[in-house]
Structure 1
Amino acid sequence: MDRPITIAVLAIGGQGGGVLVDWIVALAEHKGWRAQSTSVPGVAQRTGATIYYVEVLEAAPDRTPVFSAMATPGDVDIVIAAEWMEAGRAIHRGLVTPDRTTLIASTHRAFAVSEKQVPGDGMADAAAVTAAARAAARRFVGFDMATLAEQAGSVVSSVLFGALCGAATLPFERAAFEAAISATGVGVQGSLRGFALGFDAVGAPPSVAAPSAGSDPVKPLLAPVGHPPFDGLLARAASLPAAAHEMLAEGLRHVVAFQDTAYGAAYLDAVEAIAGAARARVSGGVSTADGSHLYETAAKYIARAMVYDDVIRVAALKTQPSRADRVQREMGGRVIAITEFMHPRMEELLGLLPPALGTALERQPRVVAALGRLLCGPRRIRTDTILGFFMLYAVAGLRGWRRRTQRHAREWARIDAWLAQAREVAAEDPALAAEVLANQRLIKGYSDTHSRGLDKYAQVMAAAGRLQGRPDAAVWVRRLRQAALEDESGHALRQALRTVDSFLEQRQAA
């Protein structure tokens, strides 16, 4: 060979990109080749991935190679991406070309900050990356390597190394790859398991799981679970249209876990009230499709409204056993310290008080400010310690008190008004009622995020009331909600509201 094999590796923090590069260099040098690696780090853990670049060349006694310090578009033989959008970034940079590049990528997602900060669905289009990968690469090797790494108790870099070996893009045997892993002396067994899974996955044909001849039939969505009070709720839910059963099953599970079975009964009461308001309209044959969609939408968004984020729920989520199990599994069973970074505001703390007392204190700004200086501010709580865990566990134990708090009273005042508007609209326009219910998407989180969402929600709901009676009312409410979810500042929503106001004013003038 008279030219080096060029390899670009794109990885984000925690994926072992540096370890993968070290394995590649050690592998080449162990086989008597010359190798060089460089890296360009990103700005932060997820806003910019680190790009590693490796060149390897078979050693010759009469030649000393001069390697390049960075990847050049159109001149990369192998691109390895530890996350699916990083594969897209490599393609966008021109590192993947159809005449020479083998693209090896994990198809799992680790969402970027730019995707998470969008109030609505900010996820990038993974299908576009898939199409680009198949068109841009000479050979494409891609599968969910993060899942295989979790199975092996390792990180994704070990599976990527196995896929690199399985793709046979380097002229080295499997034993040499495994020797490079063993030579590190750290996490060897887990890395070898991940390597083997990655190697086997490259040659494995795609498979579609088929049920065996003696497999049990799928249980109904609302089948009893052996808990009499909850089974009674499931039986009630089963009387509603089948189109809503999946959402009802999920909604009941979340609502009851949030509070109790009595709260689950209130959830079904609310869904049945919406169904009752629309039943005459649907049974008259006007729009069965709209009716089914309304039931499903009600089941989904009423549950979301009832399971709101308060201090009690945040504490419960941080102390639930499944979370500790997941953290231990992801960390491979190693002993770790878990620090919760919390910043409670006085609004959240006052929300735990009875409505009368909480409201009275809010009218005393000096008292609230003094209490805020004493009780609020950044907190670091170690939940791997008995004291830290017990503090949050005690707050989570206030669940039985929740329905007597100021926060709950205010949430239900808003929910009651929201459901009343949906019931009124459902009697004449089920499609609009479904959009009114879907406006619950605008309310999420807590603290400032919750406040901004409430403000947008109020504006869209007010516009829905003004649009009622128009044949295109549902379409416009959906457009307003999408505009509200488009950006955090609310600029798109203000523009859309001006459009609505303009044609409503024209109608009034006419």
Structure 2
Amino acid sequence: MKALIDHLPGRIHEKPISIAILAMGGQGGGVLADWIVSIAEAQGWAAQSTSVPGVAQRTGATIYYVEMMRPLDGKRPVFSLMPTPGDVDIVLAAEFMEAGRAILRGFVNPAQTVLIASSHRFYAVVEKQVPGNGVGDSMTVIEAAGIAARKIIAFDMQEVAERAGTVVSSALFGALCGAGVLPFGRDVFETAVRASGKGVDASLAAFAQAHDIARANPPAPDVKQGPEKRLPPLPVSAGHSQLDALLKRVRAEFPPHLHPMIYAGLRRLVDYQDPAYAQEYLDRLVSLHSHDRNAGGAAQTYSFTETAAKYLAIGMAYDDVLRVADLKTRASRFRRVKDEVGASASQILYTTEYMHPRMEEIVGFLPASLGSAIENRPRLFKALDRLVNRGRRVRTGTVLWFLSLYTLSRLRRLRRRSLRHGREMAHIAIWLDTALAHLPTDYPLAVEIVRSRRLIKGYSDTHSRGLSKFDQVLAQVPRIAGRPGAAGWLAFMNKAALGDEEGKALDGAIRSFDAEIEGGVRRPALSTP
């Protein structure tokens, strides 16, 4: 066995072997630290583990620190309570950005540190809260690890653990053993797992597979940024007369390369409302495609129609209280949550939802006349808002709350008579008319106007903020239109609007355009962020 101490002769007699473990809540970092301590103590070594809680942005990220050393002359060594930057022998990271965090903290150095990391990703809050794509670039971590670490072993240990029915700590322990960086045999590691007495078979299965992968010295890490999006092809039949009529119409009225995107839109809207609503979607899309064809869209592979097919479906399937109630009472959601928490078939699982609807959402799903009447009475609106604006914790697994939400979701037949629906359809009409007005003269600008719809997403306050940004961007179209690189400017503003929640980046992009009008700012290149 090639132990860590081989690269530093006599080191074992000088100072302890230091191991830093970076893990998030639920990944078994504490168990992993205990296992490492137990294997050291089983071999007559002295060992100590400590932990430093992290921050909520990493879902309870914690640094566990272990030091181990063979006692000298019968004297127990004095161990450090925290890892020292630049002097850590082994870093175990339970998620790939945790490896990056270890590098930033200075725990990894090229002369000494072996970095063992799972290559999967769990996104931090700061990555999720950005309106656009806020995911950190894993390639930066890969490049940094290649420079910062003496050796790196990284593969998807989360997948290994999930296949075995356990958590990633078991796979990390196996990778630690397979890497051969500690002077202990495999049997010592496995004995520590058996001694824990919980989920032993699953833990040993993950341990064994990870051990073999690490021992084979895996290539450079293949970091998964997320599931690859693939649109399903248009089926021959859906087995339902109304749905088959929709499919037949798609084949007859649109070129084949547009079929997957349009089919995705149809599926979304049938699930959201009904086949008749999907027919309305096709009616609008046929009209848009006709304008696209007349504007020479064939030379652009009808990108205007394809973009409209995506964002029109998203716009028509807006989130409202009926949709929220529907999603929270679906059997598929209960199954997914049960799988995520690892509940067994014999266990009863309750989910507690925090629901905080605003009066605007409640008025919005009322019939248009009634909703308008309440809105036009400020005192009544404020009184009702005080009544409902308290927030409730709802246990959707109980009969009362499940039936309440389920009944609410069944009211979607009334959605098209609601105040909110009328406003959404009017807003969609203005958006599409704006795009069509520029389609004959500036095809790229028209496509980017359609793409601007991605600024609107979510529910309640999130929707309101997105809608405000969308209206700000669309208000710039008359100023941008007719200028060279108009589509590039609009894409620049859209990207800025997706860059932060407060809209400061969008304000800066608009000021940049103002400066360009005055002369002196280089126009951004056409892009489709």
| Pairwise same-fold verdict (TM > 0.5) | yes
- Distance in 2, matches of 1:455 and 1:389, equals 34
* CA shift for structure 1 position 491: 2.1
Alignment-mate amino acid for residue 185 of structure 1: G
* CA shift for structure 1 position 310: 0.8
Change (3 A) 1:505 1:362: farther
Q: Which moved more, 1:75-84 or 1:369-378?
A: 369-378
- Distance in 2, matches of 1:145 and 1:420, equals 50
SS at match of 2:25: coil
Determine if the alignment matches structure 1 residue 98 to structure 2 residue 118. Answer: no
SS at match of 1:68: coil
SS at match of 2:196: coil
Structure 2: gaps of 5 or more residues: 1-11, 221-230, 520-529
Alignment-mate amino acid for residue 273 of structure 2: Q
- Distance in 1, matches of 2:75 and 2:115, equals 30
Change (3 A) 1:219 1:404: closer
- Distance in 1, matches of 2:277 and 2:29, equals 48
TM-score by length of 1: 0.90
* CA shift for structure 1 position 397: 1.6
* CA shift for structure 1 position 48: 6.4
Determine if the alignment matches structure 1 residue 423 to structure 2 residue 433. Answer: no
Alignment-mate amino acid for residue 446 of structure 2: A
- Distance in 1, matches of 2:213 and 2:250, equals 43
| Matched-pair contact (CA < 8 Å) for 1:11–1:50 | yes
Q: Indicate the residue corresponding to 1:213 in structure 2.
A: none
Determine if the alignment matches structure 1 residue 441 to structure 2 residue 454. Answer: yes
* CA shift for structure 1 position 60: 4.4
Change (3 A) 1:456 1:94: same
Change (3 A) 1:23 1:231: farther
Deviations 1:67-89 (A, max 9, x none): 22211222111111111111111
Residue among 373, 378, 389 paired with 2:386: 373
SS at match of 1:486: coil
Determine if the alignment matches structure 1 residue 254 to structure 2 residue 268. Answer: yes
* CA shift for structure 1 position 220: 4.0
Change (3 A) 1:246 1:134: farther
Q: Indicate the residue corresponding to 2:357 in structure 1.
A: 344
Determine if the alignment matches structure 1 residue 195 to structure 2 residue 207. Answer: yes
* CA shift for structure 1 position 353: 0.5
* CA shift for structure 1 position 160: 1.3
- Distance in 2, matches of 1:311 and 1:201, equals 48
Deviations 1:456-509 (A, max 9, x none): 111111111332222311111111111212222222222322333455578xxx
SS at match of 1:94: coil
Q: Indicate the residue corresponding to 1:274 in structure 2.
A: 288
| Matched-pair contact (CA < 8 Å) for 1:102–1:140 | yes
Change (3 A) 1:419 1:164: same
**Superposed CA RMSD:** 2.4
Determine if the alignment matches structure 1 residue 35 to structure 2 residue 9. Answer: no
Q: Which moved more, 1:254-263 or 1:228-237?
A: 228-237
Mapping 1:178-217, distance limit 5 Å: 178-203=190-215
Q: Indicate the residue corresponding to 1:401 in structure 2.
A: 414
Mapping 1:80-99, distance limit 5 Å: 80-99=92-111
TM-score by length of 2: 0.87
| Matched-pair contact (CA < 8 Å) for 2:25–2:60 | no
* CA shift for structure 1 position 222: 4.3
Determine if the alignment matches structure 1 residue 460 to structure 2 residue 470. Answer: no
Residue among 279, 283, 287 paired with 1:265: 279
Structure 1: gaps of 5 or more residues: 208-217
Determine if the alignment matches structure 1 residue 161 to structure 2 residue 173. Answer: yes
Question: Percent same amino acid among aligned pairs?
Answer: 54
| Matched-pair contact (CA < 8 Å) for 2:449–2:474 | yes
* CA shift for structure 1 position 166: 1.9
| Matched-pair contact (CA < 8 Å) for 1:274–1:422 | no
Deviations 1:298-356 (A, max 9, x none): 12211211121111111122122221111111222243331011111111111111111
* CA shift for structure 1 position 440: 0.8
Deviations 1:155-190 (A, max 9, x none): 211221122122222222223222212222233333
| Matched-pair contact (CA < 8 Å) for 2:292–2:302 | no
| Matched-pair contact (CA < 8 Å) for 2:233–2:259 | no
Q: Which moved more, 1:395-404 or 1:267-276?
A: 267-276
Change (3 A) 1:220 1:460: closer
Alignment-mate amino acid for residue 149 of structure 2: A
Q: Indicate the residue corresponding to 2:504 in structure 1.
A: 491
SS at match of 2:47: strand
Q: Which moved more, 1:263-272 or 1:426-435?
A: 263-272
Residue among 143, 151, 154 paired with 1:142: 154
User: How many matched pairs?
Assistant: 493
Alignment-mate amino acid for residue 35 of structure 2: W
Residue among 86, 90, 95 paired with 1:78: 90
Q: Indicate the residue corresponding to 2:223 in structure 1.
A: none
